Amino acid sequence: MKPAAPAPSPSPLPAGRLGQRAALWLLASISVTFLAASSAPSPLYALYRDAWGFSALTLTLVFASYAFALLAALLVFGALSDHRGRREVILFALGLEIGSFVLFWRADSVAALVGARALQGLATGIATSAFSAALIDIDRARGALVNSVAPMVGMAFGALGASVLVQFAPAPTRLVFELLFLVFVAQAVGAFFLPETVPRRDGAWRSLRPRIEIPLQARAAVWEVLPVNTAQWVLAGFYLSLGPTLAKVITGVASPLVGGAAIASLVLSAAAAVLAVRDQSPRRVLLGGTAMLAVGLAITLAGVARLSGPAFFAGTVVAGAGFGAGFNGSLRSLVSLAAPQERGGLMSGFFTMSYLAFSLPAIAAGFAVGHFGLQATSLGFGAALILLTAVALLLMVRAGEPADRPARP
């Protein structure tokens, strides 16, 4: 069997292309802005609801249109960059994302909003595996770190930035997307000069067949991190869809900044945790992150039950730290298990499972809110997540250290 191609050397890079450091920073900024754009509509939902009068279920369906389109893109286009190259796929995704902002500007109904979110999800799904793999191609250690931190920082910037504009700026439902439009156009120009990190190869059309393409040698590790990774992304999906509304109910403050602060508390503490644990072993980080996630969820539930804002936000910060540590541990457990030409498929499969957890439970929460109310639904979801994290922790402890486990074929 032909050996896997070695990871690309930082130099030399093709003439006329960005150097390693500049390419890494540009890819990181694109990752941040894609996720900022994904969370920016969350603080705007209250304005859309006031204008069009839709329910909590409709809100979660609008949110889910983004997540389902993203999932479809990961399944269909996830391995495309392994065949066509990272740069071409990233440029294509940037063009689609810019097109989604035009749809947001023109949105005058729920149907139009769903269409804009779906196109945005398609663009994000196409880009996710491509720039995740490109970052690791350029620098495996720093690329894995950026892949862990950038989504958290991006979601925080998007939620807080949009909240500030809703609170203080005129016409925020247009201004938010006008600013994002300008940023993405500038990044698209820069992305044209990215170096290509994988050669083109045959099979691009075959790669579009929907499937989860996880390399054989990485499948055992994927199954091991799946329970805690699921719990983390269920929590993130709940916060991005219903978190702002829940924060307003608990605190009794109607300011959009409260909803943005709830999302930012979760994802900024996650980013801080990633930076804090980046030099520790992935397994140790996974165990600690899972335990911290359970503790944070318990504190958050106490805040929800007592309608205590301080407890709610304190628990959110602790749970966010567990989210970040667990996500980083999961990602670092996987990135070394794939050859360069397999990384697009691996990242696609990993993020497909992550975004399934991100979207489907959020829709279920929208249904439950209509029957049981927001507070009861939040308590039920939180209790289920605590149970899932306990199961994940038990399975990891029983599995033992990798060196102590029986060999697997």
- Distance from C-alpha of 401 to C-alpha of 389, rounded to nearest angstrom: 19
Residue 64: both structure tokens together: 């889910």
- Distance from C-alpha of 87 to C-alpha of 32, rounded to nearest angstrom: 17
Segment 376-400 shows an average pLDDT of 88
| Helices assigned H by DSSP within 169-255 | 172-191, 204-207, 219-251
Which residue is it, tokens 């893109």? Answer: 73
Which residue is it, tokens 């307003």? Answer: 248
CA atoms within 13 A on the CB side of 27: 34
20-196+216-400: CATH number: 1.20.1250.20
Cβ 57 vs Cβ 370: under 8 Å: yes
User: Angle between the 56-77 and 219-251 helix axes, to the nearest 10 degrees?
Assistant: 160
User: Angle between the 282-306 and 256-277 helix axes, to the nearest 10 degrees?
Assistant: 160
Residue 267: both structure tokens together: 């994802």
- Distance from C-alpha of 58 to C-alpha of 38, rounded to nearest angstrom: 18
Burial tier of 91 (Cβ tally within 10 Å: 0-12, 13-18, 19+) = middle
Which DSSP state fits 3? P
pLDDT digits (tens, 9 = 90+) for 234-280: 998 888 878 888 998 999 988 888 988 998 999 999 999 988 988 88
pLDDT digits (tens, 9 = 90+) for 83-124: 888 889 999 999 999 999 999 988 888 999 999 999 999 999
pLDDT digits (tens, 9 = 90+) for 177-236: 999 999 999 999 999 999 888 878 777 777 677 767 788 888 888 888 888 889 998 998
Closest CA to 328 of 158, 139, 73, 141: 141
- Distance from C-alpha of 330 to C-alpha of 227, rounded to nearest angstrom: 11
Which residue is it, tokens 């247009």? Answer: 174
Buried b (16+ CB within 10 A) or exposed e, 372-388: eebeebbbebbeebbeb
- Output the pLDDT for position 101: 94
Element (H, E) at 198: none
Element (H, E) at 123: helix 110-138
Average pLDDT, the chain: 84
Please say if the pLDDT value at position 332 is more than 50. Answer: yes
Number of H helices, E strands in the chain: 15, 0
Residue 273: both structure tokens together: 């945790």
Which residue is it, tokens 């390399």? Answer: 215
CA atoms within 13 A on the CB side of 193: 15
Q: Rounded to two decimals, what is the model's pTM?
A: 0.75
Show Cβ contacts of residue 132 under 8 Å, excluding neighbours closer than 6 positions.
Answer: 31, 143, 147, 343, 347, 351
CA distances to 55, 57, 365, 377 from 362, in Å: 14, 9, 5, 11
What is the domain partition of the chain in residue ranges? 20-196+216-400
Cβ 158 vs Cβ 264: under 8 Å: no
Mapped to the 3 state alphabet, what secondary structure does 244-274 carry? Answer: HHHHHHHHCCCCHHHHHHHHHHHHHHHHHHH
Q: How many CB atoms lie within 10 A of CB 99?
A: 15
pLDDT digits (tens, 9 = 90+) for 138-185: 887 788 788 778 888 888 889 889 999 988 989 888 999 999 999 999
